[in-house]
Chains A and B, each alone.
Chain A
Amino acid sequence: MSFPWAQHYEPKAPLMRWIDSRLPLPRLVYNAVGAGYPVPRNINIWYNFGVLAGVALMVQIITGVILAMHYSAHVTTAFLSVEHIMRNVNYGWLLRYLHMNGASFFFIVVYIHIFRGLYYGSYKAPREVVWMLGVVILLLMMATAFMGYVLPWGQMSFWGAQVITSLFSAIPLVGEPIRVWLVGGFAPDNATITRFFSLHFLLPFVILGVVILKIWALHIPGSTNPTGIDVKGPQDTLPFHPYFTAKDFFGLCIYLLIFAAVVFFAPNAMGHPDNYIMANNLSTPAHIVPEWYFWPFYAILRAFTIDFLFIPAKLWGVIAMFASILLLFFLPWLDTSRVRSTSYRPMYRIWFWVLVLDIIVLAWCGGAPAEEPYVRISQIATMYYFAHFLIILPIVSAIEKPLPLPNSIAESVFRTKGADLPGAVPAGAAQPAE
Chain B
Amino acid sequence: MVRLVGIAAGLLFCVVLLWAAVTPRDAVVPDPVKIYHLHPREVKLQQDGPFGTFDRAQLQRGFQVYKEVCSACHALSLISFRNLKALGFSDAEIDAIAAQYEVPSIDPSTGEPATRPGIPTDRFPSPFPNEIAARAANNNAYPPDLSLMVKARHDGQNYVYSLLTGYGKEPPKGFSVPDGLNYNPYFHSLNIAMAQPLVDDQVTYADGTPATVEQMAKDVATFLRWTAEPELEQRRRIGVGAIIYLLILSGLAYLAYRRVWAGVKH
Using a CB–CB distance below 8 Å, which chain A residues touch chain B? 41-42, 80, 83, 86-87, 93-94, 97, 238, 242-243, 246-247, 249-250, 252-254, 256-257, 260-261, 263-265, 267-268, 273-274, 276-277, 286, 303-306, 308, 313, 316, 320, 323, 327, 330, 333-334, 336, 371-372, 376, 379-380, 382-383, 386-387, 389-391, 394, 413-414, 417, 419, 421, 426, 429
Q: Write out the residue numbers on chain B whose beta carbons fall within 8 Å of the beta carbon of A303.
A: 17, 20
Q: Write out the residue numbers on chain B whose beta carbons fall within 8 Å of the beta carbon of A320.
A: 13
- On chain B, which size bracket covers the interface? 35 or more
**Which stretch in B65-73, B170-178, B196-204, B235-243 binds the other chain?**
B235-243
Question: Would B243 and A264 count as touching, CB distance under 8 A?
Answer: yes
Chain B residues numbered 92-115 whose CB sits less than 8 Å from any CB in chain A: none
Question: Would B10 and A386 count as touching, CB distance under 8 A?
Answer: yes
Question: Would B239 and A260 count as touching, CB distance under 8 A?
Answer: yes
Question: Would A273 and B154 count as touching, CB distance under 8 A?
Answer: yes
How many Å lie between the Cα of A87 and that of B151 in the bound state? 14
Question: Would A426 and B10 count as touching, CB distance under 8 A?
Answer: no
Chain B residues numbered 140-160 whose CB sits less than 8 Å from any CB in chain A: 144, 147-148, 151-154, 156
16 A-B residue pairs with Cβ-Cβ distance under 8 Å, sorted by A, are A87-B231, A97-B235, A249-B253, A249-B257, A250-B250, A265-B239, A273-B156, A304-B20, A372-B25, A379-B17, A382-B17, A383-B13, A389-B6, A391-B11, A391-B14, A414-B265
How many Å lie between the Cα of A334 and that of B19 in the bound state? 26
Known: A276-B152, A286-B188, A336-B3. Is A264-B21 also a contact (CB below 8 A)? no
Closest Cβ of chain A to B6, distance in Å, is 4
B175-195 to A contact mask, C-beta < 8 Å, 1/0: 000000000000010000000
Known: A41-B264, A41-B265, A247-B257. Is A330-B243 also a contact (CB below 8 A)? no
How many Å lie between the Cα of A42 and that of B51 in the bound state? 42
Known: A372-B25, A383-B18. Is A249-B266 also a contact (CB below 8 A)? no
* Chain B: CB-nearest residue to A154: B152
Q: Write out the residue numbers on chain B whose beta carbons fall within 8 Å of the beta carbon of A334.
A: 2-3, 6
Q: Write out the residue numbers on chain A whose beta carbons fall within 8 Å of the beta carbon of B239.
A: 260-261, 263-265
Question: Would A387 and B153 count as touching, CB distance under 8 A?
Answer: no
Question: Would A323 and B9 count as touching, CB distance under 8 A?
Answer: yes
Closest Cβ of chain A to B255, distance in Å, is 9
Task: For B14, give its contact among A252, A376, A386 (CB under 8 Å).
Answer: A386
B137 at the A/B interface (Cβ < 8 Å)? no
Question: Would B231 and A260 count as touching, CB distance under 8 A?
Answer: no
Question: Would B6 and A376 count as touching, CB distance under 8 A?
Answer: no
Closest Cβ of chain B to A120, distance in Å, is 16
Known: A253-B253, A264-B235, A413-B266. Is A273-B78 also a contact (CB below 8 A)? no
B133 at the A/B interface (Cβ < 8 Å)? no
Q: Write out the residue numbers on chain A whose beta carbons fall within 8 Å of the beta carbon of B152.
A: 273-274, 276-277
Closest Cβ of chain B to A411, distance in Å, is 11
Chief secondary structure at chain A's binding surface: helix
Task: For B10, give its contact among A254, A389, A429 (CB under 8 Å).
Answer: A389
Closest Cβ of chain B to A313, distance in Å, is 8
Q: Write out the residue numbers on chain A whose beta carbons fall within 8 Å of the beta carbon of B21.
A: 376, 379-380, 383
How many Å lie between the Cα of A426 and that of B265 in the bound state? 9
Sorted from nearest, which 6 A-B pairs have the closest CB atoms? A264-B239, A390-B10, A276-B152, A253-B250, A246-B260, A250-B253
Closest Cβ of chain B to A91, distance in Å, is 9
How many Å lie between the Cα of A303 and that of B18 in the bound state? 10
B242-266 to A contact mask, C-beta < 8 Å, 1/0: 1100110110011011001101111
How many Å lie between the Cα of A382 and that of B260 in the bound state? 46
* Chain A: CB-nearest residue to B145: A278
Known: A264-B243, A386-B13. Is A247-B261 also a contact (CB below 8 A)? yes
B28-51 to A contact mask, C-beta < 8 Å, 1/0: 100000000000000000000010
How many Å lie between the Cα of A257 and that of B20 in the bound state? 45
Closest Cβ of chain B to A284, distance in Å, is 13
Question: Would A257 and B247 count as touching, CB distance under 8 A?
Answer: yes
* Chain B: CB-nearest residue to A422: B265
Question: Would B246 and A371 count as touching, CB distance under 8 A?
Answer: no
Q: Write out the residue numbers on chain A whose beta carbons fall within 8 Å of the beta carbon of B25.
A: 372
Question: Would B50 and A265 count as touching, CB distance under 8 A?
Answer: yes
Question: Would A249 and B264 count as touching, CB distance under 8 A?
Answer: no
Closest Cβ of chain A to B248, distance in Å, is 10
Question: Would A327 and B6 count as touching, CB distance under 8 A?
Answer: yes
Closest Cβ of chain B to A331, distance in Å, is 10
Task: For B246, give its contact among A93, A97, A260, A336 (CB under 8 Å).
Answer: A260
Q: Write out the residue numbers on chain A whose beta carbons fall within 8 Å of the beta carbon of B246.
A: 253, 256-257, 260
B230 at the A/B interface (Cβ < 8 Å)? yes
Task: For A87, give its contact among B230, B238, B247 (CB under 8 Å).
Answer: B230
Known: A41-B266, A257-B243, A376-B21. Is A267-B235 also a contact (CB below 8 A)? yes
Question: Would B265 and A417 count as touching, CB distance under 8 A?
Answer: yes
Q: Write out the residue numbers on chain B whose beta carbons fall within 8 Å of the beta carbon of A390.
A: 6-7, 9-11, 13
B61-99 to A contact mask, C-beta < 8 Å, 1/0: 000000000000000001000010000000000000000
Closest Cβ of chain A to B262, distance in Å, is 9
B130 at the A/B interface (Cβ < 8 Å)? no
Closest Cβ of chain B to A52, distance in Å, is 14
How many Å lie between the Cα of A382 and that of B16 in the bound state? 11
Question: Would A254 and B265 count as touching, CB distance under 8 A?
Answer: no
Known: A41-B266, A264-B243, A334-B3. Is A250-B148 also a contact (CB below 8 A)? no
How many Å lie between the Cα of A419 and that of B265 in the bound state? 8
Q: Write out the residue numbers on chain A whose beta carbons fall within 8 Å of the beta carbon of B265.
A: 41, 413-414, 417, 419, 421
How many Å lie between the Cα of A94 and that of B229 in the bound state? 12
Q: Write out the residue numbers on chain B whose beta carbons fall within 8 Å of the beta carbon of A308.
A: 15-16, 19
* Chain B: CB-nearest residue to A382: B17
